[in-house]
């Protein structure tokens, strides 16, 4: 399929404005792994999950095909960042306790990725995919965002986005399932931070390339009275789905 690079152009903003994963996610993954020696975070982006895993695993190999993303990844003494696609981890056979892809599996050639997971996984290792869906703030903001998501961004979303919308239920996952509870990501953001986050969406990147900043500026003006005066922080939430299995 080749590397579909939607995010290198926004790598600096991606590192600064994408949300962090909850500690409960790393606890869940570490608790299911047979050992805590090595985790492989594939499609790691800026390392949002990699550094959390490093607090639980002895070593984390974090790979991404984007050099720009890796250049802005969060450093950690137990995280080794490598530029690599989903089928070329560079890891030895049967060494990995956890193979995880966070908000990334919908971009992969899954046949290639799953073959690499089976090669590097030790017996009983865990494979996991996480996906977070559309952001939630409050009823009024959410309605405005849903309208913008569909009416304005609709034609700019890559086809892979449909897998996110159904929480990866449309992706094959040929592994013995491990039960995982629904989780949630939370942050407290200003409107400026929220708009900057939205500008890391693949569809917004494509929109602004085609139409300029006008649509996002119009959305900002629409959200201002709904968000609150001045530099008000609002709780922002994302439902987080985990698909986990035993290799």
Kindly compute the dihedral angle of the four CA atoms of residues 222, 225, 226, 232, in this order, to the nearest 10 degrees: 120
Band of pLDDT at residue 123, cut at 50, 70 and 90: very high
Region 67-78 average pLDDT: 93
What's residue 6's pLDDT?
Answer: 47
- pLDDT averaged over the chain? 93
Question: Residue 17 in contact with residue 196, Cβ under 8 Å?
Answer: yes
What's residue 2's pLDDT?
Answer: 52
Q: Is 205 helix (H, G, I), strand (E, B) or coil?
A: helix
* Distance in angstroms (rounded) separating the CA atoms of residues 124 and 43: 22
pLDDT digits (tens, 9 = 90+) for 126-160: 999 999 999 999 999 999 999 999 999 999 999 99
pLDDT above 90 for 7: no
What's residue 55's pLDDT?
Answer: 97
Q: What is the number of structural domains in the chain? A: 1
* Distance in angstroms (rounded) separating the CA atoms of residues 30 and 25: 9
Radius of gyration of the chain (CA): 18
What's residue 93's pLDDT?
Answer: 98
* Distance in angstroms (rounded) separating the CA atoms of residues 117 and 94: 9
- Structural domain includes residue 23: yes
Angle between helices 214-227 and 202-211 (to 10 degrees): 120
pLDDT digits (tens, 9 = 90+) for 60-71: 999 999 998 899
Region 113-124 average pLDDT: 98
- DSSP-assigned beta bridge partners for residue 63: 42, 82
CATH value at residue 176 = 3.40.50.150
Band of pLDDT at residue 57, cut at 50, 70 and 90: very high
* Distance in angstroms (rounded) separating the CA atoms of residues 217 and 200: 15
Per the structure, the complete domain to which residue 176 belongs is given by 8-246
- Structural domain includes residue 1: no
- Structural domain includes residue 2: no
- Structural domain includes residue 239: yes
- Structural domain includes residue 160: yes
What's residue 230's pLDDT?
Answer: 58
Alpha-helix residue ranges (DSSP H) falling in the chain: 11-17, 23-32, 50-53, 67-71, 110-120, 139-147, 161-165, 191-198, 202-211, 214-227
pLDDT digits (tens, 9 = 90+) for 21-34: 999 999 999 999 99
Structure tokens at 196: 């900057």
Band of pLDDT at residue 44, cut at 50, 70 and 90: very high
pLDDT above 60 for 1: no
CA–chain centroid gap for 41, Å, is 11
Structure tokens at 102: 């966070």
Question: How many helices and strands (H and E) does the chain possess?
Answer: 10, 8
- Structural domain includes residue 161: yes
Region 35-49 average pLDDT: 96
| Beta strands 176-178; 234-246: pairing state | antiparallel
Region 79-102 average pLDDT: 97
Region 89-100 average pLDDT: 98
Backbone angles phi, psi at 96, to 5 degrees: -95, 135
């Amino acid at each position: 399929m080749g590397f579909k690079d939607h995010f290198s152009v926004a790598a600096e903003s991606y590192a600064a404005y994408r949300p962090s994963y909850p500690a409960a996610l790393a606890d869940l993954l570490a608790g299911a792994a047979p050992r805590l020696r090595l985790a492989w975070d594939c499609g790691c982006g800026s390392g949002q999950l990699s550094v959390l895993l490093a607090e639980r695993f002895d070593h984390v190999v974090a790979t991404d095909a984007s050099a720009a993303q890796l250049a802005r990844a969060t450093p950690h003494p137990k995280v080794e960042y490598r530029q690599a696609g989903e089928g070329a981890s560079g890891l030895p056979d049967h060494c990995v306790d956890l193979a995880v892809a966070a908000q990334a599996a919908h971009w992969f050639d899954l046949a290639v990725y799953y073959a690499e997971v089976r090669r590097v996984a030790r017996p009983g290792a865990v494979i996991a995919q996480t996906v977070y869906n559309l952001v939630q703030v409050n009823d009024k903001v959410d309605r405005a965002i849903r309208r913008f998501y569909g009416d304005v961004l609709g034609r700019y979303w890559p086809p892979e986005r449909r897998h996110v919308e159904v929480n990866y239920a449309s992706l094959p996952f040929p592994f013995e399932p491990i039960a995982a509870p629904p989780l949630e990501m939370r942050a407290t953001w200003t409107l400026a931070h929220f708009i900057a986050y939205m500008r890391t969406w693949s569809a917004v990147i494509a929109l602004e390339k085609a139409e300029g900043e006008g649509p996002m500026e119009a959305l900002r003006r629409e959200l201002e009275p709904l968000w609150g005066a001045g530099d008000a922080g609002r709780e922002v939430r994302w439902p987080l789905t985990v698909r986990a299995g035993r290799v």
